[in-house]
Amino acid sequence: MSVDANAIFEEELAKHGVAFERNGANEYRIQVGDLAVTTNLENARRNAERDGDPDVIRRFAARVLAVGSEPDLSWDEASGRLLLSAEACDHDFGDTIRLRVSDEVCGVLTLTDGEHGLVSWVSGERCADWGVTPERAVDAALRNQDRLIAGLRLQIENVDGHKLGMVPLDSPFKASVIFAPSFKDLVAADLGWPVWVVIPCRDFIYVVAEQSALVPRLGEVVVREFRESGYPITTEVLRVSSDGIEAVGTFPRSPG
Query: Could you tell me the pTM of the whole model?
Result: 0.81
Q: Which of 32-41, 115-124, 203-212, 213-222 has the lowest mean pLDDT?
A: 32-41
Q: Which of 118-122, 195-199, 206-210 has the lowest mean pLDDT?
A: 118-122
C-alpha span between 191 and 152 (Å, rounded)? 15
Q: Which of 42-51, 206-215, 237-246 has the lowest mean pLDDT?
A: 42-51
Q: Where are the alpha helices (DSSP H) in the chain?
A: 5-15, 42-51, 55-65, 75-78, 124-130, 134-149, 183-191, 219-228
Selected residue with higher pLDDT from 112 and 201: 201
* Statement: residue 153 has pLDDT above 70: yes
* Statement: residue 256 has pLDDT above 50: no
What residues are paired with 201 via a beta bridge?
232
Residues sharing a CB contact under 8 Å with residue 42, sequence separation 6 or more, in sequence order: 25, 26, 230
Q: How remote is the C-alpha of 99 from its chain's centroid?
A: 15
Task: Report the DSSP pairing between strands 195-198 and 206-209.
Answer: antiparallel
Q: How confident is the model at residue 70 (pLDDT cuts 50, 70, 90)?
A: low
Closest of 104, 111, 124 to residue 251, by C-alpha: 104
C-alpha span between 233 and 189 (Å, rounded)? 27
* Statement: residue 225 has pLDDT above 80: yes
pLDDT tens readout for residues 11-46: 999 998 988 888 888 888 888 776 667 788 888 888
The pLDDT of residue 28 is 86
Domains along the chain with CATH numbers: 5-65 (3.30.160), 75-149 (no CATH), 155-250 (no CATH)
